[in-house]
């Protein structure tokens, strides 16, 4: 139904360089205003009129925008909107943030809470699924809204369910749960908070002795790189070890502004990992993925996860077969540095956690040996270790006890 995505691979090489797209559709805006994150947030595209003033929508997109208010709000920062090819309905940036009517239909396999987070909350807003770490949902708002959002049930404030975070109850739970050593702040996007509010959260967590490090999951560096100020970076530097997981899906998103923002975080000692979602018509070919992961390394962000798109209600037009992700990983392995290869994972539907999915490099298993293949389809046998014979151990002991000649 509607537009079929064009091949991303034919255009991918054009996205290998870092470019600024400012001011784009806002030529009248001063440089100071453009670089002000508050101006960017105030001037987000969030309604049909503002969208149609800058581009011609397809019938499917127009219907999607009209229906979006019942599920997940539309909001696009000017910075990110400038990346959209307004003349190409199959533009990979466009497909990520402009609603389509397909969102209003749910496939039989789709779930409102695809990762089973609600059933793993000891207190509202805190998800404790893995033994030693928790997910702390600190906000339901983002700078822009991805149409494949895993938490579309609670994010943006327009759905039937609303995020409830009981702050003091969550902190008390963390204080009395010593097995928790790792806290991931997410939502929504924690970097939407002011520096002072974010610091209050970080300092509270930092004061809990058994919490060894904190992670922040954020797409702000991609949607709103102007937010990554020297003052923010100086504040974050005080709370190491602190990691940030960014979210970039396509190399065009890595603009010169994004590169510089990530550089400021890296210079502040913040390790950066990238989490991508595999999306049909966006990044579901090996060439686009190769340019993305190599460009990420140039930004000092290591590709971390490539997610199979969760079974989010209304996402079937964006999801790919699992085999697509396996094929992409196989096409990367051996053809780029290992630092550039993310782990392809599926979040077990309903709360199973992250399950790694890899190409099958094991050809055969036999007692005492395994037969493997490499990226060139060559086969190699790797034996189990041979125990050192007891007689050889004794012989070597005798040899070691012999006088050493001067």
Cα distances from 386 to residues 354, 369, 382, 390, in angstroms, run 35, 11, 12, 12
> Is 361 one of the annotated active-site residues of the chain?
no
Q: Which of 19, 129, 300, 333 is catalytic?
A: 129
Q: Which of 44, 62, 140, 149 is catalytic?
A: 149
Cα angle 366-371-375, degrees, rounded to a multiple of 5: 155
- The CB density around residue 310, as the number of other CB atoms within 10 Å, is 21
128 phi, psi to nearest 5 deg: -120, 90
Q: Which of 95, 100, 133, 215 is catalytic?
A: 133
Separation CA 38–CA 19 (nearest Å): 23
Q: Which of 130, 173, 239, 304 is catalytic?
A: 130
Q: Which of 19, 300, 302, 354 is catalytic?
A: 354
> Is 149 one of the annotated active-site residues of the chain?
yes
Separation CA 383–CA 200 (nearest Å): 54
Estimate the share of the chain in helix, then strand, then coil, as percent rounded to the nearest 5: 35, 20, 50
> Is 42 one of the annotated active-site residues of the chain?
no
Separation CA 300–CA 109 (nearest Å): 38
Q: Which of 147, 151, 219, 290 is catalytic?
A: 151
> Is 233 one of the annotated active-site residues of the chain?
no
Q: Which of 95, 115, 140, 142 is catalytic?
A: 142
CB 272 within 8 A of CB 265: yes
Q: Which of 115, 146, 233, 299 is catalytic?
A: 146
Type and span of the H or E element at 220:
helix 220-223
Q: Which of 140, 189, 285, 347 is catalytic?
A: 347
Altogether, the residues listed in the chain come to a count of 406
> Is 115 one of the annotated active-site residues of the chain?
no
User: Is the Cα dihedral 105, 110, 114, 116 positive or negative?
Assistant: positive
List beta partners, residue 364: 371
> Is 310 one of the annotated active-site residues of the chain?
yes
Q: Which of 233, 309, 310, 319 is catalytic?
A: 310
CB 123 within 8 A of CB 167: no
CB 282 within 8 A of CB 92: yes
Two tokens, residue 185: 């702040």
> Is 309 one of the annotated active-site residues of the chain?
no
> Is 354 one of the annotated active-site residues of the chain?
yes
Return the active site residues. Answer: 129-130, 133, 142, 146, 149, 151, 310, 347, 354
């Amino acid at each position: 139904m509607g537009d079929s995505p064009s091949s991303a691979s034919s255009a991918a090489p054009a996205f290998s360089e870092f470019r600024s797209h400012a001011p784009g559709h806002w030529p009248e805006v001063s440089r100071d205003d453009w670089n002000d994150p508050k101006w960017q947030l105030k001037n987000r595209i969030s309604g049909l009129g503002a969208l149609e003033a800058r581009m011609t929508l397809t019938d499917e997109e127009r219907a999607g925008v009209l229906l979006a208010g019942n599920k997940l709000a539309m909001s696009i920062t000017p910075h990110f909107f400038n990346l959209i090819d307004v003349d190409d309905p199959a533009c990979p940036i466009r497909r990520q943030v402009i609603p389509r009517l397909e969102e209003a239909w749910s496939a039989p396999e789709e779930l409102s809470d695809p990762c089973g987070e609600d059933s793993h909350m000891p207190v509202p807003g805190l998800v404790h699924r893995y033994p030693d770490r928790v997910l702390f949902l600190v906000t339901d708002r983002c700078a822009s809204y991805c149409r494949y959002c895993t938490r579309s049930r609670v994010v943006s404030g327009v759905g039937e369910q609303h995020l409830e975070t009981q702050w003091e109850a969550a902190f008390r739970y963390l204080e009395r749960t010593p097995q928790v050593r790792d806290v991931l702040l997410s939502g929504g996007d924690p970097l939407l908070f002011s520096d002072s509010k974010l610091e209050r959260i970080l300092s509270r967590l930092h004061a809990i002795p058994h919490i060894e490090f904190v992670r922040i999951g954020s797409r702000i560096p991609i949607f709103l790189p102007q937010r990554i100020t020297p003052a923010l970076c100086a504040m974050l530097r005080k709370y190491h070890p602190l990691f940030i997981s960014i979210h970039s899906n396509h190399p065009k998103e890595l603009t010169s502004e994004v590169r510089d923002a990530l550089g400021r975080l890296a210079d502040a000692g913040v390790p950066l990992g990238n989490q991508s979602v595999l999306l049909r018509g966006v990044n579901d070919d090996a060439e686009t993925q190769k340019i993305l992961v190599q460009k990420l390394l140039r930004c000092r962000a290591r590709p971390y996860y490539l997610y199979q798109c969760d079974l989010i209600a209304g996402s079937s037009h964006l999801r790919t077969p699992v085999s697509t992700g396996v094929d992409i990983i196989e096409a990367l392995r051996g053809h780029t540095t290992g630092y550039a290869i993310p782990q392809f994972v599926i979040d077990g539907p309903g709360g199973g956690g992250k399950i790694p999915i890899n190409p099958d490099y094991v050809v055969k298993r036999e007692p005492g040996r395994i037969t493997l293949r490499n990226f060139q389809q060559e086969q190699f046998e790797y034996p189990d270790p041979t125990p050192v014979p007891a007689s050889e151990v004794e012989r070597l002991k005798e040899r070691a006890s012999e006088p050493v000649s001067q």
